[in-house]
Structure 1
Amino acid sequence: MINNEQHNPPVSATPTDSFQSRVQPWMMACFGAKISADGAERNHRFLEESLELVQACGCTASEAHQLVDYVYGRPVGERAQEVGGIMVTLAALCLAQGLDMHAAGETELARIWTKVEAIRAKQAEKPKHSPLPVAVPTLVSGSAP
């Protein structure tokens, strides 16, 4: 017989110095309150980082495009449940790829604290109201890339 308490820990257990709470001061230092709270900006940066991770793990652009069409062809999910799904799926991906997600998060948070000025400068140059993190030159009709 399986002890459910052993396999289903309480969902309300949250450390006071959670990773999420330690990211907030960095966000404020880099971006200030307005950009830190900008839902569209946070969506774009999360999607960008997610795509960079799966690209590094071997996912092709074609596969990513197929999944975008699949997801956007379905009903919109509930945000809290989707966050839970992200966390479980990230843990599973890290297990499959031999990565320690907690160590990687701590390493990245320490690294980006050393890049605050560079990140501020990049943000200042970012095109306004664009999902892209950098300005992409437009091609003149008929010219080669």
Structure 2
Amino acid sequence: MDENSTQTNIPETEARGAPFQERVQSWVLDCFGSDIAGDRAERNRRFLEESLELVQALGFTRDSAHQLVEYVFNRPKGEPEQELGGVMVTLASLCETNGLDMAAEGEAELARINSPDVLVKIRARNAAKPAF
């Protein structure tokens, strides 16, 4: 390193600005408003929907998904913090196994959905979703 260069130890997320989770929350608020952004049941549904779409895209079957739902819901509830850690570890492993870059794909999707024409489509699609 020459004398004119500087070395920083800024984490990658801070180098882009706010942490990813905060940037996503800002987008959700902008796209859907505070009622939907703060609706825990709705956030659960959207997370499960996206999770199912990911495993479907990777070849998981409907029958296997139904079996797994029965298995999970026949067990005691876990602690949210520990289960979140498990989701993150398992997602990282799933991505590695399938040659996917979790962080890069998250950034790419956030950039894609931030365009005005995509926001309009997402709002319309969300309005047409069934209420559960």
Query: Normalized against structure 1, the TM-score is what?
Result: 0.75
Q: Which amino acid is 1:119 matched to? A: I
Q: Which residue of 1 aligns with 2:124?
A: 121
Q: Which residue of 1 aligns with 2:62?
A: 61
Amino-acid identity (%): 60
List gaps (5 residues or longer) in structure 1.
Answer: 1-13, 132-145
Q: Which 4+ residue blocks in structure 1 deviate beyond 4 angstroms?
A: none
Report if aligned partners of 1:35, 1:41 keep a CA contact under 8 Å in 2.
yes
Q: Which amino acid is 1:29 matched to? A: D
Q: Which residue of 2 aligns with 1:36?
A: 37
List gaps (5 residues or longer) in structure 2.
Answer: 1-12
Query: Normalized against structure 2, the TM-score is what?
Result: 0.82
- C-alpha distance in 1, partners of 2:98/2:66? 22
**Per-residue Cα deviation, 1:15-42 (whole angstroms, up to 9, x for no partner):** 5721101101110111000100101111
Paired residues in the alignment total 116
- C-alpha distance in 2, partners of 1:59/1:22? 30
| Backbone CA RMSD of aligned residues | 1.5
1:75 and 2:81 are equivalent in the alignment: no
Greater RCO (CA < 8 Å, at least 6 residues apart): 1
